[in-house]
A and B are shown apart, each in its own frame.
Chain A
Amino acid sequence: MKKILLADDKPASRELIRAILAQSGYSIFEAGDGSEALRTAREILPDLIILDLHMPHLDGFQVIAQLRADQKFTATPILALTASAMRGDRERAMAAGFTGYIAKPIGLNALRKEIGRYLN
C-alpha cells in the first residue's frame, strides 16, 4: 500500500484530505507541523508528501529544503498545499523543489487525479 505523508497544522483540513482519499487505497500518515513532518518522513519514507506551505515553526519551504537535501527524498513527489492566493506562491514553490501545487479550495476529483498521477 502506497504511503502518503500529509502535513497541515489544521486538523479539519487533514481530515478533509484523508476523507477525500479514503476510497483510493492509500495509507495516510499525518503531521501537525513542520518538525513532525520531517521526523515522520524520515521514519516512514512515504511515497508522496503533501506539505501545507503555511505552518507554524517550520513552514513548507523550510521542510522541503531539508528533505531535498536528504538523498532519500530527492525523487519523492512532494506537493505544496496552500490557501494563499498571493501571487508568486506557485513560482516560489516550484523553485523550492516542489513537484506540484494544490490550491485550496480543493476539488475532490482534482485532488484524487493529481495524487493518482504520481502514485500509479
Chain B
Amino acid sequence: MPQLISDAERLEALLESAPDAILELDSHGRISLVNHMVEQLFGYTRQQLLGQTIEVLVPQALRAAHKQHRAQYLHHPGTRPMGSGLQLEARRKDGSHFPVEISLSPVKSASGIYVTAIIRDITDRKSAEQRQHEYEQRFRLMIEAVKDYAIFMLDPDGTVATWNTGAQRIKQYAAEEIIGKHFSIFYPPEERDTKPATVLDLVRRAGKFEEEGWRVRRNGTAFWASVVITAVRSPAGELVGFSKVTRDLTERKQSEDQLRDLREKYVQELELRNRDSEQANQLKTEFLANMSHELRSPLHTIIGFSELLAEETDKLLSDKQKRFLGHIHDDSLHLLDLINDLLDLSKIEAGRLELRREPFNILPVVEEALLSISPRTTEKSLQVRTNISSSVRISADPLRFKQILHNLLGNAVKFTPEGGKISVEAVTSDGFARISISDTGIGIPSDLQQAVFEKFYQVNATNKGNAAGTGLGLAITKRLVEEHGGNIWIESQPGRGSSFRFTIPLDPSL
C-alpha cells in the first residue's frame, strides 16, 4: 500500500536533499529556515543558526557592507545572483572562508518579505580556474622570456598581435612599436608587396609553412631566418590568427657558406693535385721505361762481350781467369733480372699493369715453360712430372701466366737438391684452375710461408752454384696472380718439400 505523504513533507524532502545550501531570511535578515546542506557547509547546527542574522555567515570584514546591501535588496527585491561580478566569500563556524556563488529570490507572504538564498560552494571550481589562470600566466611568461626564438602571434590579416623578448632581440622592435603593424615589414623591400600575402594564403590552406630566407631588422640589416608559420584555429575551426616562430640563423648560414666555399676550394685543389700526381705518375712510368732501357743497353753489351770473350779465349785462359769471366757474365745477367723485376713491380704498384686476357689451354704453355728450364733440370738430374688435363682452359694474360710459371718453376729448380722431383698439376673447381708446382726441396716452415711473398725476402740458397735471386720474383708472382683475381699460397713440410698453389679464373665461356 502506497505511503501517503503530504505536500509539505515532499517539499521538505526536496529541500533537504538539494545539493546546494538553501536558507531563508526574514525582512530583518534573521535566518528562518535552513536545509541540511547549510549545516554541512558552514559547520553550525540548525538550532545554532535559526534566529541569527545572516551576517554570522559573512566574513567579519564584510559584515557592515553586507548589512547595507541587504537593505538595498529589500528595496528592490528580485530573483538575481548576489553581488554579480564580485568574488563572494562565506565564513564557516570555525572562522575559515570559502568562495561561494549565491542567488537570491524574494518570497512575499502575509507576514512580510522573505528572501531565499541558494548558496553554492565553488571552492573546487575556483581552484580549477586559478590553476588555469596560473598556467596561462606561466605560459605567457615563458614565451615572453624566450630569447633565442622570436615567438609571436599575427591576427588573421597579418597584423602583429603579440611580441616576445626573442622577437625584440632578433628584429629589434619593441613590443609597443610593432604590435598593430603588418608583418610584411619583416621582409626585404623587394618581397614585401607579394610574398607575405602569398605565405599567409598558403598557411590558411596548408596549416603550416616553413622556410629559410632573408629578413630585415628594424635598422635595415638583413639576417638569415628560419621561419615557421602555423595557422591557429579555435576548437570550432575558426581562424584566430597565426603563430610565427623565427630563428636567426645568420651565423649558421655564414659558416655554411664559408664551409661550402672552403669545400669548393678544397675540391678544386684536390683535382689540381690529382691531375699533377697523375702527370707525375705518367712521368714516373715513362722515366722508368726510359731508364730501364738505358740501363739495359750497356748491360746487354757487357753480357754479349763476356760470352764472346769466353768463347774466343776458351783455350787461352786459366781456370781462374775463366771463373772471373763467369762472374762478370753471371752477375751481369743477375743485374738484368733485377732491373726487369724492378720495372715490373713498379708498373704493378703504379696500377699500370694492363692484363691482356684471353682464353687458352694451359697444357701447351706449361710444356713450353718446362722446356725452357730443361737445361737446368737436366743439369741437376731432376725428375719432372706433369699431371694436367688437356682441357683446362683459363682466362688470363698469356705472357703474365708464363711469367708466373717461370718464376715458380725457377724457384722449384733452385731449391730442389740434385736428383729430386718437381711436379706440375692442375685441377679445376668453382670456376678456377688450381695449379700446383711441387718440389722435394728443403721446404718452408709455416711461419715463413707469408714472408716469402714479401719484397726482397731471400731464402739463403744452400745449394752451391745457385745464382742468387732478385728477391722480387715471388712478390711479383703474388701480385700477378692477384691481378688476375686468383690466390697464391704455400703448402709445405720442412724437409720434404713445398707446393706453391695458385688459382686463375677458368675461361667463362666454357
A residues near B (Cβ < 8 Å) are: 10, 12-13, 16, 19-20, 54, 83-87, 104-108
What chain B residues lie within 8 Å of A12 (beta carbons)?
298, 301, 305
Partner of B301, one of A16, A85, A87: A16
What chain A residues lie within 8 Å of B300 (beta carbons)?
13, 83, 104-106
- B222 on the interface (CB 8 Å rule)? no
Closest 8 CB pairs of A and B: A104-B300, A105-B303, A105-B300, A16-B304, A12-B301, A83-B296, A83-B297, A106-B304
- Bound complex: CA of A20 vs CA of B311, how far in Å? 10
| Known contacts A16-B304, A16-B305, A105-B303; A85 and B343 CB within 8 A of each other | yes
A20 and B293 contacting across the interface, CB-CB below 8 Å? no
- Bound complex: CA of A104 vs CA of B295, how far in Å? 12
Minimum distance in angstroms from B475 CB to a CB of chain A? 18
Considering the complex, which residues of chain B in the window 287-301 have a beta carbon less than 8 Å from any beta carbon of chain A? 289, 292-293, 296-301
User: What is the interface size of chain B, counting residues whose CB is below 8 A from a CB of the partner?
Assistant: 20
Partner of B296, one of A16, A87, A104: A104
Q: Name A106's closest neighbour in chain B (CB-CB).
A: B304
Report how many A-B pairs have Cβ atoms within 8 Å: 46
Main secondary structure of the interface of B (DSSP, over half): helix
What chain B residues lie within 8 Å of A85 (beta carbons)?
292, 296, 340, 343
- B336 on the interface (CB 8 Å rule)? yes
- Bound complex: CA of A35 vs CA of B469, how far in Å? 42
- B14 on the interface (CB 8 Å rule)? no
- Bound complex: CA of A54 vs CA of B293, how far in Å? 10
Minimum distance in angstroms from A54 CB to a CB of chain B? 7
A108 and B307 contacting across the interface, CB-CB below 8 Å? yes
A87 and B304 contacting across the interface, CB-CB below 8 Å? no
- Bound complex: CA of A47 vs CA of B304, how far in Å? 24
B residues near A (Cβ < 8 Å) are: 289, 292-293, 296-301, 303-305, 307-308, 311, 333, 336, 340, 343, 399
Q: Name A9's closest neighbour in chain B (CB-CB).
A: B297
- Bound complex: CA of A83 vs CA of B303, how far in Å? 12
**Which of B299, B300, B343 has its CB near the most chain A CB atoms (within 10 A)?**
B300
- Bound complex: CA of A84 vs CA of B295, how far in Å? 11
B293 and A83 contacting across the interface, CB-CB below 8 Å? yes
- Bound complex: CA of A72 vs CA of B325, how far in Å? 44
B293 and A108 contacting across the interface, CB-CB below 8 Å? no
Minimum distance in angstroms from A23 CB to a CB of chain B? 10
Cross-chain pairs A/B with CB under 8 angstroms, 7 sampled = A20-B308, A83-B296, A83-B300, A85-B292, A104-B300, A105-B299, A105-B304
**Which of A12, A13, A83, A87 has its CB near the most chain B CB atoms (within 10 A)?**
A83
| Known contacts A83-B293, A86-B289, A87-B399; A10 and B301 CB within 8 A of each other | yes
A105 and B336 contacting across the interface, CB-CB below 8 Å? yes
What chain B residues lie within 8 Å of A105 (beta carbons)?
299-300, 303-304, 333, 336
Partner of A13, one of B292, B301, B307: B301
